[in-house]
Amino acid sequence: MRHLLSIDDLDRAGIERVLDRAASFAEVAGREIKKVPALRGRTVVNLFYEASTRTSSSFELAAKRLSADLVSIRAASSAVAKGESLKDTIATLTAYDPAAIVIRSPHAGAAQLVAGWTDAAVVNAGDGKHEHPTQALLDVFTLRQKLGSLEGANIWIIGDVMHSRVARSDILAFTRMGARVTLSGPPTLIPRGIEALGCSVEPTLERLPEADVVYVLRMQHERMEEAYVPSLREYAMRYQIGTSRLLPHQLLMHPGPVNRGVELSGAAIDSPQALINQQVEAGVVVRMAVLYELLAGAGATAARGVPIGTLETRAVAAA
Ligand code: ASP
Mean pLDDT throughout 96-105? Answer: 97
- Interatomic CA distance for residues 62 and 93, integer angstroms: 20
Q: Does residue 58 contact residue 34 with C-beta atoms inside 8 Å?
A: no
Separation of 257 CA from ligand 1 center, angstroms? 7
| Secondary structure of residue 159 in the 3-state scheme | coil
300 and 246 in a common domain: no
- Interatomic CA distance for residues 28 and 311, integer angstroms: 18
pLDDT for the residue 22:
98
Q: What is the pLDDT of residues 167-200, one digit of tens each?
A: 999 999 999 999 999 999 999 999 999 999 999 9
- Report the percent of the chain where pLDDT is more than 90: 82
Cβ burial of 7 (10 Å; 0-12, 13-18, 19+) is buried
Measured torsion, CA atoms of residues 297, 299, 301, 302, in degrees rounded to the nearest 10: 180
CB of residue 166 inside a 6 A radius of ligand 1? yes
Whether 126 maps to a domain, the answer reads yes
Bridge-based pairing state of the strands 251-253 and 213-216:
parallel
Whether 124 maps to a domain, the answer reads yes
292 and 248 in a common domain: no
178 and 250 in a common domain: yes
200 and 215 in a common domain: yes
Whether 255 maps to a domain, the answer reads yes
CATH code for the domain in which residue 179 is found: 3.40.50.1370
Is the pTM for the entire model greater than 0.85?
yes
For residue 304, pLDDT beyond 60: no
137 and 125 in a common domain: no
CB of residue 176 inside a 6 A radius of ligand 1? no
Separation of 158 CA from ligand 1 center, angstroms? 14
Q: Which of 133, 151, 153, 121 is nearest to 287 (CA)?
A: 133
313 and 290 in a common domain: yes
- Separation of CA 210 from chain center: 26
Q: For the chain, how far is it from start to end, CA to CA, in angstroms? A: 23
216 and 142 in a common domain: yes
User: What is the domain extent for residue 32?
Assistant: 7-131+283-318
Mean pLDDT throughout 264-282? Answer: 97
237 and 197 in a common domain: yes
- Reported as a pLDDT band with limits 50, 70 and 90, residue 297 is confident
For residue 81, pLDDT beyond 70: no
234 and 181 in a common domain: yes
Whether 314 maps to a domain, the answer reads yes
- Interatomic CA distance for residues 131 and 125, integer angstroms: 8
For residue 110, pLDDT beyond 50: yes
Whether 252 maps to a domain, the answer reads yes
- Reported as a pLDDT band with limits 50, 70 and 90, residue 136 is very high
pLDDT for the residue 298:
67
Verify cis geometry, omega within 30 degrees of 0, for the bond prior to 255: no
- Reported as a pLDDT band with limits 50, 70 and 90, residue 84 is confident
Instruction: State the closest ligand 1 atom to the C-alpha of 217, by its place in the atom list counted from 1.
Output: 8
Whether 1 maps to a domain, the answer reads no
CB of residue 256 inside a 6 A radius of ligand 1? yes
What are the Cα distances from residue 213, in Å, to 130, 180, 244?
23, 10, 15
177 and 221 in a common domain: yes
Question: Which residue has the CA at smallest separation from atom 8 of ligand 1?
Answer: 218
Domain count, the chain: 2
